[in-house]
Amino acid sequence: MADADRERWDRRFATVGPGTPGPPSALVGREDLVPTTGAALDLACGRGTVAVWFAGRGLTTTAVDVSPEALRLTAALAEARGVAVTTVRADLDDGLSVTGPFDVVVCQRFRDPRLYAGLIELLVPGGLLVVSVLSTAGDEGGSYRAGPGELRSAFGHLDVLVDEEGNGEAHLVARVP
Ligand X SMILES: C[S@@+](CC[C@H](N)C(=O)[O-])C[C@H]1O[C@@H](n2cnc3c(N)ncnc32)[C@H](O)[C@@H]1O
Of residues 90, 61, 65, 91, the one with CA closest to residue 78? 61
What is the distance between the alpha carbons of residues 92 and 90, in angstroms, rounded to a whole number?
6
Q: Nearer Cβ to ligand X, position 94 or 126?
A: 94
Q: How far is the CB of 132 from ligand X (least distance, A)?
A: 7
Query: Is 11 or 157 the residue whose CB approaches ligand X more closely?
Result: 11
CA distances from 10 to 22, 32, 84, 111, 173 (A): 22, 33, 23, 18, 29
Question: Site residues for ligand X, window 1-20 (CB under 6 A)?
Answer: 1, 9
CA–CA dist 85, 79 (Å, integer): 9
Asked if 92 touches ligand X (CB under 6 A), the answer is: yes
Give the shortest CB-23-to-ligand X separation in angstroms: 11
Give the nearest distance from C-beta 60 to ligand X in angstroms.
19
| Residue nearest ligand X, CB atom distance | 46
| Sites for ligand X among residues 100-119 (CB under 6 A) | 108-110
**Which letter, b or e, does each residue of 105-124 get, where b requires 16 or more Cβ atoms within 10 Å of its Cβ?**
bbbbebbbeebbeebbebbe
Which one, 9 or 54, has the nearer CB to ligand X? 9
Distance, CA of 1 to CA of 74 (rounded, Å): 21
Interface with ligand X includes 67 (CB under 6 A)? yes
Distance CA 176, CA 105 (A): 11
Task: Give the nearer residue to ligand X in terms of CB position, either 62 or 67.
Answer: 67
Query: Which residue, 6 or 154, is less far from ligand X as judged by CB?
Result: 6
Residue numbers at the binding site for ligand X (CB under 6 A): 1, 9, 44-46, 65-67, 70, 91-93, 108-110
